[in-house]
Structure 1
C-alpha cells in the first residue's frame, strides 16, 4: 500500500480500533497490522500524540506474563474526533471513487 495513503488513514483506523474496547499497545499493533502494514515504530508515536491531544486516556494493568501493560481508552473528545474523521473519510472516498469512475482509464477499455 502506498505510504501516503496509509499515513492519511492510520489515525482513523486506530481510533476505530479503540472505539468499543480498551487495548494495549501490542494488541493495537497486531489489529491495525491486519488492515495496513504498520510497525511499532510508527504506531507508538501516533498513540503518544493522540494521548497528548486527549483523544485517549491510559492506564496500567498488571500482566501475568511480564511487565504491566499500558492500555488505551477512548475519551469523549476521541469519539468526537473519530466521528469527524469518519465523516471526512466517507466524503473523500465518495469523491475519489466518483472521479475514478468518470475518468477515462485503461481499465475501462
Structure 2
C-alpha cells in the first residue's frame, strides 16, 4: 500500500514478488485482493473457511515441518532465500555446500 502514500515499496517487495507472480497491476494500483486471488497467484499455500480451520491447518503444517531435520529445514530455507537473488548455477553450488555440511550432522543418519 506504499503507493497510496506516494512511495515505492521499499522492503524488497518489488524485488521479490515479480519472481513469484505478475504483480505490476497490484504495485501500480494498490488494488486489494481477497484470499482466493492470493491463493491463485501463489502468494499463500492454503485458504480455509474459518479462522479456526486456518489455525488448525497452520499447526498441522508446523508439526510436519518440526518433524523434519532442523539442518535440512534450515538448508532448504537458505536455498530458497538465496535463489531469489542468484543464478540457478550459483544456487546449486550453494546447495552442494549446505548438503556437504549436512552430511557431517547426525540428522542424515537419523533420517
TM-score in same-fold range (> 0.5): no
Structure of greater Rg: 2
Q: TM-score interval w.r.t. the shorter chain?
A: under 0.3
What is the TM-score normalised by the length of structure 1?
0.27
The structure richer in strand per residue is 1
- Structure having greater relative contact order (Cα 8 Å, sep ≥ 6): 1
The structure richer in helix per residue is 2
